[in-house]
Structure 1
Amino acid sequence: MRKEELDIFIKQAVEGDKIALEKVLMEVNDFVFNLSLRMLGNISDAQDATQDILMKIMMKLSTFQNQSHFHTWVYRLASHYLIDYKKSMFAKHPLSFEFYANDIQAGYIDSPEELIGLNKEILAKELKLSCTNVMLQCLDPMSRCVFILGTMFKINSQLASEILDISAQNYRQILSRSRKKMRQFLSEYCGLSGSG
């Protein structure tokens, strides 16, 4: 949706137009869910958080001042909510890279026969997605959010610093440390060939 069109819907929604409000919420629903899913690690928690965030957007829409792009404002609301989110499975049972490494080393396939008949390409893709998802949960919430915004959503440091209310330099440092941790863990434990 074009910015001008979205601005009109926002104005109408603030004035009480329910159809306009629905269009505004539908505009941001997918990327709020995608951010929630990556931050929280499972679909059920992501759906719950998305609903909470959409409610926050609805309740705070009148405070949107149009000083930044609407999507930036939504990212800010969603990011801060998700960093502090305590109801997810991984918030209740936090992971660490050490714990996950021990889990991988212990192995979870009892016998190679379990793999017979499975498409190796599909299995490799599933393993990659699963490994990445769990690794994200090993990062603290702020580092996870920075990694997701910078690496997965390709948001530049200036915009990300605005979203997270931190300096651009601090954002780049957190992103660099998070990438290094992820890279080290990937190369050691999640490779499909070589040492991992």
Structure 2
Amino acid sequence: MEAFSDGVLAIIITIMVLEFKVPEGHDWHALVGLGPKILSYIFSFVYIGIYWNNHHHLLHMVRTMNGRLMWLNLLLLFWLSLVPFTTAWMGESQFAATPTALYGIILMVAAFSYWLLQRAILKQHSGDSSFVVTMGKDWKGKLSPLFYLTAVLTAYVSPWLSGVFFVLVAVIWFVPDQRIERALGSR
């Protein structure tokens, strides 16, 4: 499952970069028009990287692979596979309200899917295991959906303000989730 997921995430990043078209000009000024596309690509690249990193750590906690985990993992990959579309639309529209809001919705649903996968893996561990205790302290997982929802709602007020909330989520998750490494170390 990890190898399949890694492949899907690599394809997602590849699709995003293929959205770039070579500019018409031959100087630095020709890249100015690509600014919104480059910025949306950077957002999404960082997000996919964060998911890849945390997903990798999370899968180390799987005790028994089963159909439920495989379907929940596929659900997460489905939502992440929509990131290139919303990234392209958001960049192409220069961060117009609706594409920016849809970007936030996709990220919010992906976060919810990750949470479902995490909960299913937690059920494989006893209630008193260090992993369950450690993962229960999930302030990042609780704060992220709130920031995503705020980003969606503020997209219609100011897409740039919405972008601030996307950056905040990325910042809090940029440092990989150390809870799993601590739980693995305590075994």
Q: TM-score range by the shorter chain?
A: 0.3 to 0.5
TM normalised by structure 1 equals 0.33
TM normalised by structure 2 equals 0.34
